[in-house]
Structure 1
Amino acid sequence: MDIFLIRHTTPAVTYGTCYGFADLDLAPTFTEEATRVQGILPGKNFTVYASPLQRCSKLAHFLFGSTFQTDERLKEVNFGDWEMKTWNDIRETTAQNWMADYLHQPLPNGESYTQLYNRSVAAFRDMITSGKDTAIVTHGGVIRSILAYATGTPIEASYGIRVEYGRVVHLHLNGQGLEVKGVNM
């Protein structure tokens, strides 16, 4: 079984802005980036899942037409009160307190990285039970969590995994487990 984790293309947002649950549109480079992603994917019939946020659902529609299901568990981390604020707008001490234990400390009226990890992995495990080739169009935090799960990377080390906008991760599931075939393709 092949699984392709696809990160949305570049969002239309100012650099340094906290966004997770915010339903942002995509940058003007969308068609160019989406066409590049399309060229990476093999010509297979996929079971397709996407985050319901438009930056993912637009890419899923571009790549697969209307043959995809959305799943709330595929949303990015919930920044709560920090949604759409820049890091400069958030008090330095508040940000430092959260960063000291981001794994377990929820963002104000949001969620912790562990909560994101747990819901992402639960969604992934549900989605691969069919044994059919699967494509998941989602966000960087979700892909990072799934990659950590697939590779046995401890959650505290997973935050350092980089997944670029409009890039693809290829996993293969066989009788021996999950194998990473490519990252940031």
Structure 2
Amino acid sequence: MSHEYLTVYRSRDPRTVFISDIGAHISEHWDLDRGIPLRGRISEATHLNLDPEQGDLLCDFISNPEQALIVSERARALLEAEGTLSEEVVEYLPFTLLDKRGKPTRTRYFFANLLRKVDCMDTAASEFTPAATGGILAVDKVYLRQEHIPADVKLFRLGEFPQLHVIRSDLLQRIREAGLTGLEVLAQGKEIF
């Protein structure tokens, strides 16, 4: 069976909440982009705030400027039920989310720090800015070489540019069927902005 692969992107719905203060509360927060283990650096003692200038709709996937994958307890349960998201593939790092009044939300949230990276970018078809030191500085449009993606992988980081999370269409369908909210995706070749 052939699947489509899409890029996970932050919600553009102005009604949804947004977390903008990750850098103020997590040292070396840029490590969230790299797919390296962070256990012990983020805990429930880590408090993050909802941006007061953004919407009020609390979702199962919460957007943030770091493009970190932030999931509710419901979303975590669904991802774990999919079976391929073991601790070797993703670590769930709990933190305390404070509402706009500074009170902890009822729902528990986690950074879903994806550790699995797959080198599968079609560099000939994709549009990107190379970094002066090698690697990739930014990606404008991405195309994937699906034959390089293992058959059991449904959610991963793009190996060449780990800031991008990629989701397989059947997992996305399960998320939508479960009524989980806040996850937006972009098809291959769409402008990443």
Report the TM-score when normalising by structure 1. 0.30
Between the two structures, name the one with larger relative contact order (CA 8 Å, sep ≥ 6): 1
Q: Report which of the two has the higher share of helix.
A: 1
Q: Report which of the two has the higher share of strand.
A: 2
